[in-house]
């Protein structure tokens, strides 16, 4: 395989275990021979396949169980960035990454497809070659088709340019994040004025008896950040609505503004030195189970959902200091 000059992001389709192994082994061996770091975030079954095929060379590859790695796109992006930084610190000039996305339930397919599109810009300058395996035996046709739209190159069965690739911002604009679903009238509706304190008090009072303490803290952080953004950047009438269907709480903050123009907002933190207030959407994306922004009929809406009873073990990059400041 010819080493690309910049980021390369490929989709690799396979429909047998043997194809999975035989297509990835040259990619891994070549990277190791060139002194590159190699990381594979794949299913536990595929970790076993690769380890058995690599033999002793498996000790030079970092393996990650993809089910814990692919919890939230923003957390996964932060995790890959951290691994790139660590590899550079160990003296590796380039990194080869194998990322088998856990697309999960159907309602999450668009979320993770958008993540695949965003990687092309988020890591545009990274010294990385990313190969994303797609199991055509189990993934629906829509996911497989979209993989060709979100990866500049594909293995099918040989590596070639994708005929249907779309630049990331074009794809993200054409395929919006679906709003977390709600049913029935809100359990809480309140107009937002000059401070977030009344909203925080009302939500905590409503949910404190039913929520896991850690997840309630996460909810308060996200609520504070989204309300603060609405008060700071929104226009006109601002309102909070909350739906509570245990164990999931869904909140929506609306205003009369146009909403953010950048479809990549929230995938990365702002540059170093920007205060916590500039990190609101990124912090929220780290902690929510789902979050979407939409504008309809002159109303901008930010809607997010959090499972208040779920023990959260996914990787994060929100620091304790950010937690503390967000609670104030």
Q: What is the pLDDT of residues 78-124, one digit of tens each?
A: 999 999 999 999 999 999 999 999 999 999 999 999 999 999 999 99
Do 301 and 252 touch, CB atoms closer than 8 A?
Answer: yes
User: Are residue 212 and residue 292 in the same domain, yes or no?
Assistant: yes
How does pLDDT run across 24-34, given as a tens digit for each residue? Answer: 999 999 999 99
Instruction: Say whether pLDDT at 216 is over 80.
Output: yes
**Among 13, 35, 33, residue whose Cα is nearest residue 24:** 13
Instruction: Say whether pLDDT at 68 is over 90.
Output: yes
- Per-residue pLDDT at 234: 85
CATH code of the domain covering residue 281: 3.30.565.10
User: Are residue 94 and residue 47 in the same domain, yes or no?
Assistant: yes
- Top pLDDT among 182 and 316 is at 182
User: Are residue 170 and residue 23 in the same domain, yes or no?
Assistant: yes
How sure is the predictor about 17, in pLDDT bands with cuts at 50, 70 and 90? very high
- Tell me the Ramachandran region of residue 46: left when phi exceeds 0, alpha when psi lies from -120 to 50, beta otherwise: alpha
DSSP symbols for 96-157 = EEEE-----SGGGHHHHHHHHHHHHHHTTTSSEEEEEEEETTTS-HHHHHHHHHH-SEEESS
**Among 271, 291, 267, 284, residue whose Cα is nearest residue 322:** 284
User: Are residue 122 and residue 169 in the same domain, yes or no?
Assistant: yes
**Among 251, 244, 237, residue whose Cα is nearest residue 309:** 244
How sure is the predictor about 278, in pLDDT bands with cuts at 50, 70 and 90? low
Average pLDDT of the segment spanning 287-315 = 84
Average pLDDT of the segment spanning 48-76 = 97
User: Are residue 230 and residue 283 in the same domain, yes or no?
Assistant: yes
User: In total, how many domains does the chain have?
Assistant: 2
User: Are residue 104 and residue 220 in the same domain, yes or no?
Assistant: no
Query: Above pLDDT 90, what percent of the chain?
Result: 75
Which residue, of 174, 201, 235, is where some domain finishes?
A: 174
Residue with tokens 């690309």: 4
Do 253 and 199 touch, CB atoms closer than 8 A?
Answer: no
Domain membership flag for residue 3: no
- Top pLDDT among 315 and 22 is at 22
Which residue, of 117, 149, 174, is where some domain finishes?
A: 174
The total of other beta-carbon atoms located within 10 Å of residue 262's CB is 10
Highest mean pLDDT among 207-221, 237-251, 305-319: 237-251
How sure is the predictor about 213, in pLDDT bands with cuts at 50, 70 and 90? confident
Q: Average pLDDT of the chain?
A: 90
User: Are residue 32 and residue 164 in the same domain, yes or no?
Assistant: yes
Domain membership flag for residue 1: no
- Per-residue pLDDT at 323: 43
- Per-residue pLDDT at 89: 97
Instruction: Say whether pLDDT at 134 is over 80.
Output: yes
Domain membership flag for residue 240: yes
Which residue, of 130, 152, 174, is where some domain finishes?
A: 174
Q: Which domain holds residue 13?
A: 8-174
Instruction: Say whether pLDDT at 180 is over 90.
Output: yes
Instruction: Say whether pLDDT at 204 is over 50.
Output: yes
- Per-residue pLDDT at 212: 83
Domain membership flag for residue 180: no
Query: Above pLDDT 70, what percent of the chain?
Result: 90
- Per-residue pLDDT at 279: 78
- Per-residue pLDDT at 211: 83
CATH code of the domain covering residue 129: 3.40.50.300
User: Are residue 101 and residue 203 in the same domain, yes or no?
Assistant: no
User: Are residue 98 and residue 26 in the same domain, yes or no?
Assistant: yes
How does pLDDT run across 74-83, given as a tens digit for each residue? Answer: 999 999 999 9
Q: Which of 37-41, 167-171, 218-222, 309-313 has the lowest mean pLDDT?
A: 309-313
User: Are residue 266 and residue 293 in the same domain, yes or no?
Assistant: yes
User: Are residue 139 and residue 192 in the same domain, yes or no?
Assistant: no
Average pLDDT of the segment spanning 144-166 = 95
- Per-residue pLDDT at 270: 72
- Per-residue pLDDT at 327: 41
User: Are residue 230 and residue 92 in the same domain, yes or no?
Assistant: no
- Top pLDDT among 283 and 9 is at 9
């Amino acid at each position: 395989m010819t080493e690309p000059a910049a980021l390369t992001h490929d989709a690799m389709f396979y429909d047998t275990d043997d194809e999975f192994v035989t297509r990835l082994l040259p990619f891994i061996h070549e990277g190791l021979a060139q002194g590159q770091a190699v990381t594979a975030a794949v299913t536990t079954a595929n970790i076993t396949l690769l380890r058995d095929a690599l033999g002793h060379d498996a000790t030079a590859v970092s393996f990650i169980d993809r089910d814990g790695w692919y919890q939230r796109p923003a957390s996964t992006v932060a995790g890959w960035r951290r691994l790139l930084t660590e590899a550079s610190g160990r003296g590796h000039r380039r990194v080869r990454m194998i990322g088998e996305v856990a697309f999960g339930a159907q309602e999450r397919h668009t979320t993770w497809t958008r993540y695949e599109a965003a990687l092309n810009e988020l890591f545009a300058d990274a010294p990385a070659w990313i190969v994303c395996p797609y199991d055509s035996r189990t993934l629906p046709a829509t996911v497989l088709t979209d993989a060709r739209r979100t990866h500049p190159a594909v293995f099918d069965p040989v590596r070639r340019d994708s005929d249907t690739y779309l630049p990331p911002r074009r794809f993200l604009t054409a395929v919006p994040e679906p709003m977390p679903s709600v049913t029935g009238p809100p359990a809480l509706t309140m107009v937002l004025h000059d401070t977030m304190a009344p909203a925080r008090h009302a939500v905590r009072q409503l949910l404190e008896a039913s929520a896991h303490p850690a997840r309630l803290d996460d909810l308060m952080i996200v609520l504070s950040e989204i309300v603060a953004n609405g008060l700071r950047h929104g226009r006109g009438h601002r309102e909070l609505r909350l739906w509570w269907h245990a164990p999931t709480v869904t909140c929506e903050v609306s205003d009369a503004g146009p909403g953010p123009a950048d479809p990549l907002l929230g995938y990365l933190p702002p540059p170093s030195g920007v205060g916590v207030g500039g990190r609101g959407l990124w912090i929220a994306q780290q902690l929510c189970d789902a979050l979407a922004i939409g504008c309809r009929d002159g109303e901008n809406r930010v809607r997010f959902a959090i499972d208040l009873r779920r023990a959260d073990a996914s990787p994060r990059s929100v620091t304790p200091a950010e937690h503390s400041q967000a609670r104030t």
